[in-house]
Amino acid sequence: MQVISVIIISVLISCSSVRLKEIKSEVAESYLKGGNVYFQKGEYDQALLYFNRALEIDPKYAEAYYGRGSVYCYSKKKQFEQAISDLTKALEINPEYVEAYINRGFVYGEKGEFDQAISDFNKALEINPMSCEAYINRGAVYREKGEYGRSLSDFTKALEINPKNAKAYNNRGIIYGEIEQYDRAISDFSKALEIDPGYTLAYYNRGFFYYLKEDYDKSWNDINQARESGYQIPPEFLNQLRKVSGREK
């Protein structure tokens, strides 16, 4: 009877331990979800509190490191070193974490460490060759390096994967504009606006290239649309547009 009692107690302790781990996992997940909600709302301080709490409960929670790293990356404080540290930790826990490679690559790009950024985007694409975001981000870094052919290729590949990605059209339009293919640039900005009529940056960009084509009426139409939507037009550009068009707005 004593042996049976010991076995029963041992089983109960084991079951209790398993259930405790399950509860901790559930609680950590609830904090992660809360952090993600606050992050999407742009309430980064609150998001940080929730991701911290999730990591206190589960120090090996890759998604929580990713979430906290994203806060460090996108908040106004721009805490890039902390972001890299957290995203690296997420990747140590889960080496197949595509989104963590993309975000860490973005941070490296923001720091001007372009080769490191490209390396991370390459890794993301090795894991998921259909990652539209990896192509868009790598294309943006190639643009910063002045490698317009590669940049153009990446934005085009992103659009093959997702033909409804307004950001890819806008970014490709910028490249076309920079290599002086203005009609193609304007076409891409127009496509971006068909997909997302509220995309104020695309209005500004299209207006700018209409200006370069000396189509000032269309330029003003787009610039005014961007201004009405709250986009801050560079004053020097406005002054130049007024000068050459003979219009105030």
Give the domains, in start order, of the chain with CATH numbers: 172-249 (1.25.40.10)
The pLDDT value given to residue 7:
45
Mean pLDDT of the 145-154 span: 97
Statement: residue 10 has pLDDT above 70: no
Statement: residue 17 has pLDDT above 80: no
The pLDDT value given to residue 3:
45
Residue 116 to residue 121: CA distance in whole angstroms: 9
The percentage of the chain sitting over the pLDDT mark of 90, rounded to a whole number, equals 84
Is the Cβ–Cβ distance between 162 and 168 less than 8 Å? yes
Q: Is 246 exposed, middle or buried (0-12, 13-18, 19+ CB in 10 A)?
A: exposed
> Three-state SS string across 201-242, please?
HHHHHHHHHHHHCCCHHHHHHHHHHHHHCCCCCCHHHHHHHH
pLDDT band at 77 (very low <50, low <70, confident <90, very high): confident
Is the Cβ–Cβ distance between 174 and 152 less than 8 Å? no
3-state secondary structure of 96: coil
Half-sphere exposure of 225 (CA within 13 A, CB side): 19
Mean pLDDT of the 217-238 span: 95
The pLDDT value given to residue 121:
98
Is the Cβ–Cβ distance between 127 and 98 less than 8 Å? yes
The pLDDT value given to residue 5:
52
Amino acid at 13: I
pTM of the model: 0.87
85-132 pLDDT, tens digit per residue, is 999 999 999 999 999 999 999 999 999 999 999 999 999 999 999 999
Is the Cβ–Cβ distance between 204 and 233 less than 8 Å? yes
